[in-house]
Amino acid sequence: MLNIFWRTVKDRKTSLAVYSLAGLVFMWMYVALFPSMKEQAEVFEKMFESLPEAFFKAFGIESLGFSTIGQFLAMEHFSIVWPLMAIIMLVSIAGSSLAGEVEKGTVELLLSSPISRLKIFWAKYLVGLFSLLVFAVISIFAIAPLSAIHGISYNLPDFVLVAVISFLFGWAVFSLGILFSAIFSEKSRVYMFTGAIVLVMYVLNVIALLSENLDWLKYASLFHYYDYNAALIDGTLDIVNAGIFGGVIIVCSVVGAWWFTRRDIAV
């Protein structure tokens, strides 16, 4: 099992490095911009006030302000950039993990090894979690050295909280993707179904934010439970949100493992 895990990690080390570097670069860009944005806070706030309220609701921006780096990153980075990078990376890993092996025909080598299908599933699953952990640590906790470089104060506990909720969000998305990877034999279908569901959930969340009559739609979206604002602005983590992510993770993981161990794989 560990051999499969490390071999897959080595095969994906370049893509993981690219995503992690991209996350670091984006964080560095926003941290570097923050001092000048803070100096011109009144100008930017007046400019943003001219935009319709629906614009900010659609992107989950609850408050406009440049008083703290946490508030700025919540508005600029964690509203769409970070989750988008995480989703693309994790869906890619999920698609190639199982369905990709079947599509290439290399699953025959895995199945012929003296290891159960269940262990193969969990080895591939752990690759996704490991990749998410590395990406999250580098792209989020880079705030520490970057803030020191630019002389910016930050509240570390807030970033620990946003790292936790971001990791859970990514874990839930990956679990959904690995479920489809266990079901399908083409990674394109994994990308299509997982991407479609994630996109629909995003749209449902936007609709719920824009319409009070359809506010109930938000409960069907993972994006509603990804409350980065509470972590970075209020310094809180809703245990219910964490529980919802946990439920999605458990259900998708268990069903995916069960399906992969029982499916008929043509090799």
Q: What confidence tens digit (pLDDT) does each residue in 200-247 have?
A: 999 999 898 888 889 899 999 999 999 999 999 889 999 999 999 999
Give the pLDDT band of residue 139 (cuts 50, 70, 90). Answer: very high
State the residue range of the domain holding 223: 2-53+63-262
Mean pLDDT of the chain: 88
Give the pLDDT band of residue 103 (cuts 50, 70, 90). Answer: confident
**3-58 residue pLDDT tens:** 888 888 888 899 999 999 999 999 999 999 888 877 765 555 555 555 455 545 55
Calculate ∠ Cα 105-111-112, nearest 5°. 105
Report pLDDT for 145. Answer: 95
Q: Is residue 193 part of a domain?
A: yes
Provide the number of structural domains found in the chain. Answer: 1
Q: Is residue 14 part of a domain?
A: yes
Locus of tokens 């319409």: 211
Q: How far is CA 114 from CA 105, 187, 233, 265, in A?
A: 18, 25, 51, 17
Report pLDDT for 169. Answer: 98
Q: Is residue 58 part of a domain?
A: no
Q: Is residue 197 part of a domain?
A: yes
Q: Is residue 127 part of a domain?
A: yes
Predicted TM-score of the model (pTM): 0.90
**174-196 residue pLDDT tens:** 999 999 999 998 999 999 999 99
Nearest to 140 by CA among 248, 223, 232, 58: 232
Give the pLDDT band of residue 170 (cuts 50, 70, 90). Answer: very high
pLDDT of 64 above 80? no
Q: Is residue 220 part of a domain?
A: yes
Q: Is residue 39 part of a domain?
A: yes
What six digits make up the tokens of 189?
């279908």
CB 99 within 8 A of CB 190: yes
Q: Is residue 21 part of a domain?
A: yes
Report pLDDT for 109. Answer: 77
